[in-house]
Amino acid sequence: MARGCISQDFAPLLLFLAVIFPHLDASQAVDQGLSDILNELWKLDKNRLKPGTDYTISLQGRAGYVRVGNNEARDHASAPLFSYVNEAKLKNIKTFSYLMNLLDNYEPSTGVAEKVTAEEIAENNLFLNAVLETDVMKRTHKYLVSKGHSQSDLNQFRQQLYNIWFHLYHRDRRGSEDSCGFEHVFVGETKSGTEVMGLHNWVQFYLLEKQRLVDYKGYKARDRDMPNKDDHILNIQFSWNGLVKPVGSAFIGVSPEFEVAAFTILFLASNEKATRAVVNMDKYQVELVVTRHGRYIGTAYPHLLSTRRP
């Protein structure tokens, strides 16, 4: 069948999908297998923080349209996104504590070579070791072995994770090794001083807000799918050091191990340049996106499609 042509035999099915999943492009069906394992991991994520108890967010106004590369954005949020975070609890959970130790190890500008010290390598390994001790990552390892994506040997799995997330590569071809998956997703980068790239981790966002380096501009949503303060996935607009990200998205409150697990599973599921999967997870329908930079993660983020309110 020629591209762009739809057989009449498929028309009723596409109409059915459009009715059941109004936020979803009919070409993307829900990945039930991925939904199942992610819901397992969601239930195992005992380190996930509780909204309204461990942290509080203030959504405020809905952000407007901003073209990529345009760093002028009307501010629809006079206050920060995070009005409270229990930092003592973060520091008492090993995976969060070790994550925070890594956030100042990178040069955010692409094209500038990263200089990785022995101390920073040790910090990377402390973080991964803590992640591997969690029930979330133990289940992830078992799942990946069952799919033939990982070896059962724990040391080999640890090295696989290290390569996927921390191996340095050239993001800006004009420079030296200036990036890695962890930096892009968890820390954030800037491209030639003109735009924000990555920065999909809520802890980093909160810490940058605290330093007044990030300015939350408002949430991004459609009229039929407005977020609330208890949601664990948000689409937002913000500026970082004066550079605007028109639409960014992140899990909120979830543990580092959950993020590493979810994105690693999707990364290893395909060799495509970009892998997208729609999943029903907890009360959310979300599109997970992972792109690869050779054998390593280029970017990874969740994009909230809809929320099923109780």
CA 23 to chain centroid, in Å, comes to 20
Is residue 226 within 8 Å of 142, Cβ to Cβ? no
217 is catalytic: no
Structure-block tokens of residue 131: 């992640």
Q: Residue 4, by phi and psi: left (phi above 0), alpha (psi -120 to 50) or beta?
A: left
94, 141, 184, 232: which one is catalytic? Answer: 184
94, 141, 220, 245: which one is catalytic? Answer: 245
Ranges of H-type helices in 167-200:
181-182
What distance separates the 2 farthest-apart alpha carbons in the chain? Answer: 62
Alpha-carbon span 118 to 104, nearest angstrom: 15
DSSP assignment of 239-261, as one string?
A: EETTEEEEEEEEESS--HHHHHH
Structure-block tokens of residue 292: 């690869």
Q: In this structure, what DSSP letter does residue 134 have?
A: S
Structure-block tokens of residue 112: 């500038």
138 is catalytic: no
Is residue 95 within 8 Å of 257, Cβ to Cβ? yes
94, 200, 217, 220: which one is catalytic? Answer: 200
167 is catalytic: no
Residues noted as catalytic: 184, 200, 245
